[in-house]
């Protein structure tokens, strides 16, 4: 189904004022689409098309498309745009407008946020499967069991080993600055995949390395949940680089034989199974009907 859409320059100005982003600078290069993790895994979210709609002033249409709620807020699209256009800011603005105009109710927003938290459990359980071998399919039973099964924190008391070799190594690495961490949790607060500490928490990861608990991290599925967006490293006032630290931990896990070198590839494959299901759950959460305008309808 294709819809006839009428550009509106006044509404374009409303969006530009609300986002402080000049969507008309977009030259439709598609770099944002190629970096968007949701788009790569599902082909169902195009930040480029959202910017295109914003530049046409299609505010009402933007308020009615489910894609606005598919975004992880990772800001990769914003970081990679060569023209300084901010697709993630357009999405933020449209979400806020949806709430302000009561198109979306607070209760729905709460359900949506809970869904994202439960989805990180799914990613954790799927990562365990990938570490153990391939994950070729996710059945309905598995999906709902993983959504509803919290990840348990290890019950045993962990003894700090602050002089462990790997901690000394990380302390000497100028590119992660872990010793400067004040445990303020700014990294955790801005991390788009942090929802439950037992699943994944960048600040806890830094703390564990500082306490010499690298070995525990190398065994943990959690370090594979980071989506490498870099928001934590940008947000840290102490210049601690959680993203770079997690990248090194992953490489150590591969080099040390804790996981297969094929794991990153297996996880990418798993994302293509998991994200489309998440988007279906989001559609159900907001009650989007099949008669809606899709981004694919916008030229």
By CB under 6 A, name the one of 27, 175, 182, 284 that touches ligand SF4.
Answer: 27
Q: Which of 191, 236, 252, 274 binds ligand SF4 (CB under 6 A)?
A: 191
Minimum Å distance from CB 117 to ligand SF4? 14
Q: Does 38 bind ligand SF4 (CB under 6 A)?
A: yes
Instruction: Answer yes or no whether residue 30 interacts with ligand SF4 by CB under 6 A.
Output: yes
In the complex with ligand SF4, the residue whose CB is nearer, 75 or 167, is 75
Our finding on whether 56 is near ligand SF4 (CB under 6 A) is no
Considering only 41, 81, 206, 223, the residue that binds ligand SF4 (CB under 6 A) is 81
Is 72 one of the binding residues for ligand SF4 (CB under 6 A)? yes
Check residue 243 for interaction with ligand SF4 (CB under 6 A).
yes
Quickly count: other Cβ atoms within 10 Å of residue 7's Cβ. 11
Residue 142 or residue 288: which is nearer to ligand SF4 going by CB?
A: 288
Binding of ligand SF4 by 202 (CB under 6 A): yes
By CB under 6 A, residue 221 contacts ligand SF4: no
Separation in Å, CA 90 to CA 58, 95, 98: 12, 9, 12
Of the ranges 58-66, 85-93, 137-145, 213-221, which one interacts with ligand SF4 (CB under 6 A)?
85-93
- Using the rule CB under 6 A, which residue among 28, 153, 162, 168 binds ligand SF4? 28
Q: How far is the CB of 64 from ligand SF4 (least distance, A)?
A: 17
Q: How far is the CB of 46 from ligand SF4 (least distance, A)?
A: 8
Contact between 179 and ligand SF4 per CB under 6 A: no
Answer yes or no: are the C-beta atoms of 205 and 246 closer than 8 Å: yes
Q: Is 226 in the site for ligand SF4 (CB under 6 A)?
A: yes
For residue 251 the two structure tokens come to: 């490489």
CB 294 within 8 A of CB 65: yes
Among 123, 148, 46, 125, CA closest to 90? 46
The yes or no reply on residue 218 touching ligand SF4 (CB under 6 A) is no
CB 238 within 8 A of CB 177: yes
Sign of torsion over alpha carbons 224, 227, 228, 232: negative
- Kindly state the smallest distance separating residue 41's Cβ from ligand SF4, in Å: 10
Q: Which of 282-287's residues contact partners 24+ apart within 8 Å by CB, and which partners?
A: 282/66, 282/69, 282/70, 282/112, 282/115, 283/66, 285/69, 285/108, 285/111, 285/112, 285/115, 286/66, 286/69, 286/104, 286/108, 286/112
Q: Show Cβ contacts of residue 195 under 8 Å, excluding neighbours closer than 6 positions.
A: 116, 117, 120
Cα separation, 247 vs 172, whole angstroms: 16
How many residues lie near ligand SF4 (CB under 6 A)? 42
Under the binding rule (CB under 6 A), the answer on residue 177 touching ligand SF4 is: no
- Cβ closest to ligand SF4, residue 40 vs residue 161: 40
* Site for ligand SF4 contains 49 (CB under 6 A): no
DSSP per-residue string spanning 92-147: HHHHHHHHHTTSS-HHHHHHHHHHHHHHHHHHHHHHHHHHHS------HHHHHHHH
**Contact footprint for ligand SF4 (CB under 6 A):** 26-32, 35-38, 45, 47-48, 51, 71-77, 81, 83, 85, 87-88, 91, 191-193, 202, 226-232, 242-243, 246
């Amino acid at each position: 189904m294709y819809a006839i859409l009428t550009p509106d320059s006044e509404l374009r100005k409303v969006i530009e004022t609300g986002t402080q982003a000049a969507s008309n600078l977009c030259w439709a290069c598609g770099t944002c689409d190629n970096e968007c993790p949701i788009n790569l895994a599902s082909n169902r979210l195009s930040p480029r098309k959202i910017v295109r709609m914003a530049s046409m002033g299609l505010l009402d249409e933007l308020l009615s498309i489910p894609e606005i709620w598919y975004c992880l807020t990772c800001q990769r699209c914003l970081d990679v745009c060569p023209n300084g256009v901010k697709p993630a800011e357009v999405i933020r603005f449209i979400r806020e407008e949806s709430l302000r105009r009561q198109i979306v109710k607070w209760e729905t927003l709460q359900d949506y946020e809970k869904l994202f938290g439960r989805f990180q459990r799914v990613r954790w359980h799927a990562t365990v499967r990938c570490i153990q071998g391939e994950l070729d399919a996710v059945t309905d039973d598995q999906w709902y069991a993983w959504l509803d099964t919290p990840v348990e924190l290890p019950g045993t008391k962990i003894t700090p080993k602050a002089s462990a070799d790997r901690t000394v190594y990380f302390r000497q690495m100028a590119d992660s600055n872990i010793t400067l961490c004040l445990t303020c949790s700014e990294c955790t607060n801005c991390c788009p995949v942090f929802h439950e500490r037992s699943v994944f928490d960048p600040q806890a990861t830094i703390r564990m390395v500082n306490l010499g608990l690298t070995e525990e991290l190398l065994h943990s599925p959690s370090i594979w949940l980071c989506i490498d967006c870099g928001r934590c490293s940008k947000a840290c006032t102490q210049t601690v680089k959680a993203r770079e630290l997690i990248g090194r931990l992953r490489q150590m896990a591969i080099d040390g034989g804790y996981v297969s070198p094929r794991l990153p590839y297996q996880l990418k494959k798993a994302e293509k199974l998991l994200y489309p299901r998440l988007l279906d759950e989001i559609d159900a959460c907001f009650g989007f009907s099949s008669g809606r305008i899709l981004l694919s309808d916008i030229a």
